[in-house]
A and B are shown apart, each in its own frame.
Chain A
Amino acid sequence: MSASLPDAAPAAPGDETPVRRFPTAPLFLSGPAALLFAALVLTPLFLTALLSFNQFDYATGRTGGFTLEHYLAVVTDEYYLEIFLRTFRISALATAICVVIGVPEAYILSRMSNPWRSIFLLVILAPLLVSVVVRAFGWSMLLGPEGPVNGALIALGIGRMKLLYSEGTVVVALVHVMLPFMVIPVWTSLQKLDPAVEQAALSFGASRATAIVRVVAPQILPGILSGSLIVFGLSASAFAIPGLLGGRRLKMVATVVYDQYLSDLNWPMGAAVAVILLAANLIIMLTYHRMVEGHYRRRLG
């Protein structure tokens, strides 16, 4: 997202060609896609926003009228407050761990030479393309009562632990799913870094640690920030991981929306939670864009 928006902004070179003979051409060209997105993105989001203000009758299941009770419930009902707090806590923890693991890993990758660099980049990034259900299932086997992790704990004399259906398991699996999203932007900003600068710091007598903290870290900070926001946003709306590894009691925002829609059939309540989730995501992303643009403007200016 962040990488392609600035790229697309300037018109392609060679605009002096007489392609503008038909001023209606872009309309025809982008019309079909625009219609699809109007019908299947804008309309449903608008309908859902409207739905979230509807009253819900538990006895008949009918919806209608106008009410703010669903939004009030989210900020007053302890059940929802707890779920939003838990989602925030789990996502923040997963993000922090992704920074601690992903940033050094991207740095180590960037210092490797080919072919190892390409191979390990593939190893770290390719799991992104495997269905999240498969990865969640893999973790449930690794951490299950008969799994290898418990086997190792027993062999070490610690004894069997109940690992599944805990916040810790959800965090570990989220880190596994989100780590590529942290490595990618940090890797990208490391590619832009001139290794000679780090060399210069070292040759002036800076220690390895000083060179990393004072020279490398400030330059990859936008990448770390970008990765953190993507990881946080995706974790906060993650569905399969808490659904499969959190069990019945450990609900997160996404699994609550699912319950509201498909078990309780209280669509307006589910819609209100979904609207809040969407708003939070958009605020995070827009804040990020503003921050990164400001950062580059300062550096260029």
Chain B
Amino acid sequence: MTRNGPVALFFHALVVIFMLAPLAIVCLVAFTPENTLSLPTRGFSLRWFEAVFHHPDFVQSFWNSLWLAVLSATLAVALAVPASLAITRYEFPGRGFLNALFLSPLIIPHLVLGVAMLRLFAVVGAAGSFGWLVAAHMVIVTPYVMRLLIAAISGFDRSVEQAAFSLGASEATVFRRVTLPMILPGVTGGWLIAFINSFDELTMSIFITSPSTVTLPVRMYMYATESIDPMMAAVSALIIGITAVAVLLLDRVYGLDRILVGQH
């Protein structure tokens, strides 16, 4: 009874093609031996991948993005673990406000956050600093981490912690040996989704990066508005590859459908 008719399956095939076509063409064109954006009809070539690795701007932006994503994801998790413990386990004045504040970057357009942070950095004289860029990325990835952590913390059995307490374990030991291992899927899942979101972020970053801190998506945006050659396709194919690895990891440690379907 869970069968779809032929019309439904045809419709479904069209939707799948629609969703995959832009990604597929990028990956194909990346292997072209030609000088222009074209499908590789006369054999495959890696020359444009090589060009990317010899392009100092793209290489530097790649490392910027990687460090930015690693640092902001790690620091966001470090702040979000205690904050989600406070929100799920304690009743205190301002709890609802804090919860809404921590999730607010999901409903504030990144464009607005970008111009707002540009203004702040201009006022405090921090324009273009990498440290402030990390802090800005922490803000936009924290809500994703918080949601997984709040779900993980509210979903687990407190009696295990109480057993550890009653056997004489200190609070630090209980957190390290009991609480943390139990919420670990939420922590690693949160870290990965934070990493992906930071690594991909364009709209906010374009306002607050300086020539030395330009991230990969910002570099690609700038490059695509000026000139278009197959190098752009090669960078895109690499990004699709990195994202695919992260997605597979995420699926292993947490379950992609759980993250995505719980996302909005």
Contacts and interface: CB of A to CB of B under 8 A. Distances in A.
B180 to A, nearest CB: 14
Contacts of B25: 138, 141-142, 147-148
B212 interface: no
A277 B247 CA distance: 32
Interface of B: 1-4, 8-9, 11-12, 15-16, 18-23, 25-26, 29, 36-39, 79-80, 82-83, 85-92, 95-96, 98-113, 115-120, 123, 135-136, 138-139, 142, 147, 150-151, 153-154, 157-159, 161-162, 196, 199-200, 202-203, 206-207, 217, 220-221, 224-225, 228, 232-233, 236, 239-240, 243, 246-247, 251, 256-257, 260-264
Contact of A176 (B18, B123, B232): B18
Interface of A: 1-5, 7-9, 11-15, 17, 19-20, 23, 25-30, 32-34, 36-37, 39-45, 47-48, 51, 101, 104-105, 108-109, 111-113, 118, 120-142, 144, 146-148, 176, 179-181, 184-185, 187-188, 195, 199, 226, 230, 233-234, 237, 239-240, 243-244, 254, 257-258, 261-262, 267, 270-271, 274-275, 277-278, 281-282, 285
Contacts of A36: 79, 135, 138-139, 142
A44 B89 contact: no
Contacts of A125: 256-257, 260-261
7 contacts: A47-B116, A48-B112, A137-B236, A139-B22, A141-B25, A271-B119, A281-B108
Contacts of A32: 79, 82-83
Residue among B22, B85, B91 facing the most chain A CB atoms (10 A cut-off):
B22
A129 B200 contact: yes
Nearest to A143: B22
A122 B224 CA distance: 28
Contacts of B135: 36, 39-40
B166 to A, nearest CB: 11
Nearest to A101: B15
